């Protein structure tokens, strides 16, 4: 009888241990499968990229942006707006915006896992692409929102030449310039130049955030002048505010960046351009205004 009791107690003990082990394994599996919105690449400060090297500072598969969107930050003010879209980004104090820009690319919602976003430097542009999983890959059966945030070395006096793949081009709304005029003045001789502008503006938006891809050129004898730049900022109640835009060759150097403000109503965009305060004496100042309508 005593032997039977001992055997019964032993069996009960093994059963309880098995249940506890199973519960522990289930908890571990659940923790592993829990989605993470952001994968910070550095716990402390971000390392400065070497010349020409693009450095990833955050990436993930479960972001907060559900539609294709690109955000370019070339100032601390604009970067703080980006930090509201992506958590765990390093503070603006760790980035020298005179030597680098921050580009964030959001692929939008995908039906499965396995997708990612790549930001790479080509010969003369910064390309943004969606990387699809291999056809034979085993992917998670869940909605994902892949994204990446990269530190792109670029001098503050140069334009940021972004080239986005069809994923973002299909989501972009395009506007054609119907009227545009810029004035560039300054230099030792106090020269004044007027430029009639033409071209297009591509628009990507998400919530209160907007990115404008300018592809402008001068008319007539000024056809060789270009303003090709992607700038991001906020748009609330139809009012657009971009903290920084490079003036391209619409002004001679040295030139300060531009601040852009305006409105988007219905199928029309109206924008005003004004130079930010210059740190260089006898530099050039630029002002301008453009009107554009949506291409249907």
Confidence at 280, pLDDT banded by 50, 70, 90: low
Q: Decide yes or no: CATH 3.20.20.70 for domain 173-294.
A: no
Extents of the domains making up the chain: 49-169, 173-294
Q: Tell me: the pLDDT tens digits for 34-76?
A: 334 445 444 434 545 445 689 999 999 999 999 999 999 999 9
Show Cβ contacts of residue 143 under 8 Å, excluding neighbours closer than 6 positions. Answer: 109, 110, 111
- Encode 221-235: b = buried (16+ Cβ within 10 Å), e = exposed: ebeebbbbbbbbbbb
Global pTM value:
0.81
3-class secondary structure, 228: strand
Q: Tell me: the pLDDT tens digits for 126-158?
A: 999 999 998 888 888 899 999 999 999 999 888
Strand blocks (E) in 30-146: 39-40, 55-60, 69-73, 100-106, 116-121, 126-131
């Amino acid at each position: 009888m005593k032997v039977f009791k001992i055997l019964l107690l032993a069996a009960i003990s093994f059963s309880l241990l098995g249940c506890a082990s199973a519960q522990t394994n289930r908890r571990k599996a659940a923790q592993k499968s829990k989605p993470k919105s952001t994968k910070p690449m550095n716990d402390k400060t971000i390392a400065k990229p070497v010349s020409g090297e693009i450095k990833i500072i955050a990436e993930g598969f479960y972001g907060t942006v559900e539609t294709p969107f690109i955000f370019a930050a070339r100032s601390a003010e604009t970067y703080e707006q980006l930090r509201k879209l992506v958590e765990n980004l390093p503070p603006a104090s760790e980035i020298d915006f005179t030597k680098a820009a921050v580009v964030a690319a959001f692929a939008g919602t995908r039906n499965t896992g396995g997708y990612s976003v790549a930001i790479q430097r080509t010969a003369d542009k910064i390309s943004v692409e969606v990387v699809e999983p291999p056809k034979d890959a085993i992917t998670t059966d869940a909605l994902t929102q892949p994204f990446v945030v990269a530190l792109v070395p670029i001098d503050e006096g140069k334009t940021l030449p972004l080239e986005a793949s069809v994923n973002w081009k299909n989501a972009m709304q395009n506007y054609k310039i119907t009227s545009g005029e810029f004035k560039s003045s300054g230099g030792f001789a106090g020269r004044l130049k007027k430029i009639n502008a033409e071209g297009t503006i591509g628009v990507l938006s998400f919530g209160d955030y907007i990115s404008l891809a300018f592809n402008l050129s001068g008319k007539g004898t000024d056809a060789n002048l270009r303003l090709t730049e992607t700038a991001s900022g906020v748009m609330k109640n139809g009012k657009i505010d971009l903290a920084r835009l490079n003036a391209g060759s619409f002004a001679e150097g040295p030139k300060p960046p531009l601040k852009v403000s305006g409105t988007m109503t219905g199928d029309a965009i109206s924008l005003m351009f004004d130079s930010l305060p210059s740190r260089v004496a006898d530099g050039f100042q630029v002002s301008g205004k453009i009107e554009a309508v949506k291409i249907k």
